[in-house]
Homo-oligomer: A and B are copies of this chain.
Amino acid sequence: MHPLTEQPVRMTAVNEPFADPSTSIEEIFRSTYLVLRDSGYAGVSIQRIADRTSLSKSTLYYHFDDKYDLLMQFSEEFLSWYLERLVEEYEGDAQETLSRLLDIVLLGEADDGVLFEDVFAPGYIATILEMRAQAVRDQEMRTYVTVTDEVMRDHLVALIEDGIEDGTFIDVDPEATASVLFVFFEGGLLLRSCEEDTEWMAAVRDAADAYLEEIKQHE
C-alpha cells in the first residue's frame, strides 16, 4: 500500500507536472493533475478544477468544451511533458530513455533511484484504471482512452525514429516496435499499480531488454 498521504514528497524533475504554471491553460492542467491525484476520476468536475485555480468556471469553459475535452488535452500534455522530460534528461538518447521507462514500470526503480511512485501517483493510476473500466461500455470514454493511448504510442514512435536516424536502432518498423514497447510499458504500469508482489516483473524487464537488444544497431 502506498496511500498518497504517506508518500514522501520527492523533489525529482519528473514528479511535478505543470509545477510552475505561466498561462491559464497550464494553471488548469496543474489543478486537473491535483484533482485526479487526490480524488481520482470520480472527483473530476469543471467546478472542482476551477476551485483549485485563480480562474472562474466560465474561463475554463472558454478554453475547453467540457470535462472530456479538458481531460483529453490534459492527458496529451501530461504524457508529452513526462516523455520530453525523460528525453531531455538523456540528451535525446532513445535507447537510454526507453530503458529508463521500462526500469521504472517493470523494476519499480530507475538506476538513479527514482521510484515508480515518484513518477506515477497512485491516485493518477487509479484514475487511469477507472477510466479504462468505464471505457469498456461508454463510447465517449472509449474515444478518450483510445486517443490518449495513441498519443503515448506516437511518442514511442518518435523516440524509435530518432534512434533509427542517429544509428542506435536498425531499420525497424517504428509503429510495430512502438506497439510492442507500449504493451510492455502500459501492461507493466497497470499491473504494478494493483499487485502486492511484483518480483515476477523482473523477468519481463529482461525480455524487454532482449527485445531492445534485437533492434539495436550492432557494428
User: Is A12 on the interface with B (CB-CB < 8 A)?
Assistant: no
Which of A18-26, A43-51, A72-80, A128-136 touches B? A128-136
User: How far is it, in angstroms, between the C-alpha of A45 and the C-alpha of B174 when the chains are bound?
Assistant: 47
Q: Give every chain B residue within 8 A of A175 (Cβ-Cβ).
A: 200, 203
Q: Give every chain B residue within 8 A of A125 (Cβ-Cβ).
A: 136
Chain A positions near chain B (C-beta within 8 angstroms): 1, 3, 40, 122-123, 125-127, 129-130, 132-137, 139, 141-143, 145-146, 149-150, 153, 173, 175-177, 179-180, 182-184, 186-188, 190-191, 193-197, 200-201, 203-204, 206-207, 211
B194 contacts A145, CB within 8 Å?
yes
User: How far is it, in angstroms, between the C-alpha of A122 and the C-alpha of B186 when the chains are bound?
Assistant: 20
A130: which of B1, B122, B130, B142 is its contact (CB, 8 Å)?
B130
User: How far is it, in angstroms, between the C-alpha of A194 and the C-alpha of B134 when the chains are bound?
Assistant: 8
Q: Give every chain B residue within 8 A of A200 (Cβ-Cβ).
A: 153, 175, 179, 182
